[in-house]
Structure 1
């Protein structure tokens, strides 16, 4: 698996907030492993934190706006898109105002300054959500829809239809996140003239000019509107170009609007808090549907983490079969209670036990309604954990594991003949002086059956 990444040194850039018009300094700082993206308000006493979390989204009217304990972060999406696009996992984002600088309306300048800081690998594996089934969210009022499908890596496609003459249907795609920098990061934000007028009338676009937003002219420009725009953008002359946008700005791409929507999708889905391995197809995306999908996906991921069910293919050859297991463990039938080892690393193990009606314990344990004894489920879990513990020694066949302690045992559901038990055990701390502490889970029929914390001692045979 890939390692997590942060930046090597602190870097800053300055600009103007689009909606406030205030001068803003944004500083990126390295962050520790597993911390994700976190905004810090340096202009507020105590320097409060606002994590990049979909659950903190409070409105999406003019960008993706977060709020935690009364502390706001506005228009977070362009900064977050740059972080994801450069495959940075952990970052502190300090601001002396509520919103990042708009710069040119894209992620380009954030990408540049992050690359100047340098990106470095951290000593922890990157967490990634692997999509195994289609996940969908649809807004019936707008027809906006986001689908997430299985794929070998993070891919995004946006399909937009603005139903106007000046800007109709556009598509944009990336098939790998490494394309973000060159193909997406410089796609600028855009708006329609009628939206710009409304924002100006309500004093909600104080930091804009014709260099940080593409303005599509979807209505006739009256003299009053021209005067209003000249005053707002501090321009002596404003005109409409042949392609239907206001002048002083040239499109980077014919489909720049669709590319910017793709940029927004990446930035908004950063709020899930986990890397995604799957293909996003976004039809008529916007911040509302993006963040609602992010909330849904976040709940799904948390539920799966809670259940912690290993994704394994029982049809594939195992890492260790029962004969190889017997070369390491001293147990034999009828007390050998693990049939296969599917995964084995320095920190976790996944094993399998096929529960059949021929198990000797079914003869006397509720013979009229056979149920696998809970203590034997824990024993099977312990034997699987023994494989993990003995991996830490060079000659495991010369060692034994004796379990010293079992804590927090919980039995969630019955295990009956015909079930396949899947065991997963993870180290809670590095093995020291032969003492191994593990969190263990047993699953049956896609549900958690048993869990426990196990402590064992590795002892050399005399």
Structure 2
């Protein structure tokens, strides 16, 4: 069942500091028009540049997913995007007056609550969804990280975490419904191991960190120098390690909070695909590197699938128009009537078929011994299909003729041979005005795109 796109009803603003930059930042969620997707806006820079949330713009995944478009950067995007995805929002503008969203408590819960406060409303456009029909895998041989995407009835995620350390152990987390994100995943906070934390401090990172927005797993004995660094970084006079192996001042919200946070990160990083997924993700040892690598591969795969998409039509159903009804509308006759049936017809599109047989007159000369349907006749057949659409808008189509005005972006992708059934779909690019129609037409055969073109024609009344 198709769903409509959604955005938020009202603006809502949050403030805080960036985890790694330590910059104070104000972030405002704003409604966006249909098909906008997710976009960040740097309002602190001249001309307020826009950085779309796309995998192509990923430039770094060290301690977060970072985007860069023409030198304009956004750091640590995953927690915000996870909240947006989980609430079913398709279009949103995220304004920032600094390069990094506020870390808040290290989870997504504050973003979820802010977006709920803003309200969510439906828009007048359908959601585009990629339905998984095969197993797709992405693996990093060096780290052993792997993401598997398989068919499922809804978007589901399972993460499996193993850092080969006793303090954390092996953890799993699953989310079968995005509706459960708020209660099961959103509050899971970011985490780090002590040895990683030392390196970050040495490189002057996590300037916005404190013991309230990051879980620190202590995987080694704390030296005096390290303790001094931690006290300074976290502005604490005393720091100790709890029996469960984490620094004090924090209680785990779940025993598998690390795996839940990794699941949160997967959702946020895969938002960069730019298309909703209907399928199940299994992520083994996920991280921003493998997540964004998979997002890039999926974005390419979906783009290719769109280009080669072949709709399914039941050719056994009774047609909307048979050859006699077609001849009542079109003036063409044998041997130049090149469509046999009309399957669908609306105000903006038409679907018709042509059964190609060896008895076609043009096969006598094109080519003897190697019959191939001429490309120009494929375009003519698409134009006749479009003619049905255009002439159906007048009460007396028998008194009109349709004339070509222009053809653009004509591409022939496969040969059309005797025995093929051609299916043509033509749809208006712009509304018909003054008898002029501009449409995009595609021809399919054998579950492949064989021809496509943009056509412009004018209907003229017979004097």
TM-score (norm 2): 0.89
What aligned pairs does 1:20-419 form with structure 2 within 5 A after superposition? 20-307=21-308, 309-312=309-312, 317=317, 320=320, 322=322, 326=326, 329-330=329-330, 337-339=338-340, 346-389=347-390, 402-408=402-408, 409-419=410-420
1:224-274 CA-partner distances (Å, limit 9, x unpaired): 433332222122332222322222222222222111111111111111112
Segments of structure 1 that go 5 or more residues without pairing to the other structure are: none
Contact 2:137 2:147 (C-alpha < 8 Å) held by counterparts: yes
1:428 counterpart SS class: strand
The structure-2 alpha-carbon separation of the partners of 1:247 and 1:142, relative to structure 1 and needing over 3 Å to count, comes to: same
Distance 1:150 1:320 in 2: 34
The residue number in structure 2 matching 1:454 is 455
1:33-92 CA-partner distances (Å, limit 9, x unpaired): 222111111222222221111111111011001111111110011111111111212211
**RMSD over aligned Cα, in angstroms?**
2.9
The structure-2 alpha-carbon separation of the partners of 1:206 and 1:318, relative to structure 1 and needing over 3 Å to count, comes to: farther
2:385 counterpart SS class: helix
Distance 1:400 1:153 in 2: 49
The residue number in structure 2 matching 1:429 is 430
Distance 2:291 2:128 in 1: 21
The structure-2 alpha-carbon separation of the partners of 1:185 and 1:352, relative to structure 1 and needing over 3 Å to count, comes to: farther
Which stretch shows the higher mean deviation, 297-306 or 381-390? 381-390
Distance 2:213 2:196 in 1: 15
Distance 2:416 2:359 in 1: 14
The structure-2 alpha-carbon separation of the partners of 1:359 and 1:68, relative to structure 1 and needing over 3 Å to count, comes to: same
Distance 2:160 2:431 in 1: 48
Contact 1:398 1:460 (C-alpha < 8 Å) held by counterparts: no
1:4 counterpart SS class: strand
Query: How far did residue 397 of structure 1 move?
Result: 8.6
Which stretch shows the higher mean deviation, 318-327 or 365-374? 318-327
Distance 1:346 1:251 in 2: 58
Query: How far did residue 155 of structure 1 move?
Result: 1.9
TM-score (norm 1): 0.90
Which stretch shows the higher mean deviation, 63-72 or 35-44? 35-44
Query: How far did residue 218 of structure 1 move?
Result: 1.2
1:160 counterpart SS class: strand
1:265-314 CA-partner distances (Å, limit 9, x unpaired): 1111111112222222211111011111111111122223333x223265
Segments of structure 2 that go 5 or more residues without pairing to the other structure are: none
The structure-2 alpha-carbon separation of the partners of 1:346 and 1:358, relative to structure 1 and needing over 3 Å to count, comes to: same
Number of equivalent positions: 460
2:432 counterpart SS class: coil
